Amino acid sequence: MKIFFIMGLLCAFLCAQDNAAELENALSNETLSIKEQAISGFQRKEQYFDMYLNEYTDNETRNTVFQLSGSLFNIDPYKSNYLLPFTYDFTKHEGRQNAEVAFQISFEKDIIYDFLGLKETMSIAYTQRSWWQLYKHSSPFRETNYLPEAYISIPWHNNKSPIKNYKFGFLHESNGQPEGNSRSWNRLYFDATLQYKGVFIAPRVWYRIPEKAEDDDNSDILDYMGYGDLTVVYPFREHLFKLLVRNNFDFDKNRYAAQLDWTFPFAKSGVFGHVQYFDGYGESLIDYNQKTRRIGIGLALSR
């Protein structure tokens, strides 16, 4: 029942109606500048994508890319929101079944727009990733990772440049477990979005905020997670392909991760089919130092 309650909350967020039309009717000519400053995150992002996709894509692909940027809500989807009712881990882990449910909830809220005069957006976001041993006796939740985040996103104003925007942020990640199974770390990160024709490329680097040795539950996490990652997104018609790769660049004790997500229209239902494949280290915090090779199928509400 927990998962249905959580997904119900998510659907409530995604079904909320935007009040932008009412705001527009209420505003007088003298207050149009206020309306412009309050324009929704989706509208800004839609204009941003529309500016750069131009001749490289067809109409179906353009619609797919617009879905990347959220929708007309006060609270917007951030990363993908999905439910994978069946995943299978090809590696053996003691005390768990190979088949389980996985899901992710992710949303963001824009707080301040253009405060610094750079057309920047200051936002907060929250992502939760869970792995549920539904097919095991008593169906326990095996692991949940919590990722609250705050960041500033700034558009790049040179239209001829492949760089489209860059972002500075703070990211906390923990699993909320008691001592012994507790995992957590804090990062400052910088990433950028670049476009080459119809492909979007997003490199990201991070700096781990140091902790006291006695408080550090995972002192060697950078040996497995490295110092950054790279995301490549390719929208084609109504399909979306997303590849995330990571490597610690230690050639003696090399650790890597690769995750491929494919989303596609599903029965004209307003949701999307979702196939996910992961291979490497760091899929979840409890397994950051254990290799996982998993495939999952399910549905995505946002991508």
Distance CA 163, CA 149 (A): 23
Residue spans of alpha helices (H) in 158-265: 221-225
Instruction: Tokens 């040179």: give the residue.
Output: 158
Query: Cα 79 vs. chain centroid, distance in angstroms?
Result: 3
Residue type at position 51: M
Question: 247, 258 in Cβ contact below 8 A?
Answer: no
Residue 180, Ramachandran bin (φ over 0: left; ψ between -120 and 50: alpha; else beta)? left
Q: Is 93 annotated in the active site? A: no
Specify the 3-state DSSP secondary structure of 283.
Answer: coil
Where do we find the tokens 């000519």? 29
Q: How far apart are CA 140 and CA 114, in angstroms?
A: 45
What DSSP string describes 156-217?
A: ---TTSSEEEEEEEEEEEE--PPTTT--EEEEEEEEEEEEETTEEEEEEEEEEPP--GGG-S
First to last CA, the chain: 24
What's the rounded Cα separation, in Å, for the pair 155 and 254? Answer: 35
Q: Could you say which of 69, 139, 172, 182 is catalytic? A: 172
Choose, from 174, 182, 269, 274, the residue flagged as catalytic: 174
What's 217's DSSP letter? S
Residue 100's Cβ-count burial label (10 Å; 0-12, 13-18, 19+) is: buried
For residue 172, indicate whether it is catalytic. Answer: yes
Tell me which residues are annotated as active site: 172, 174
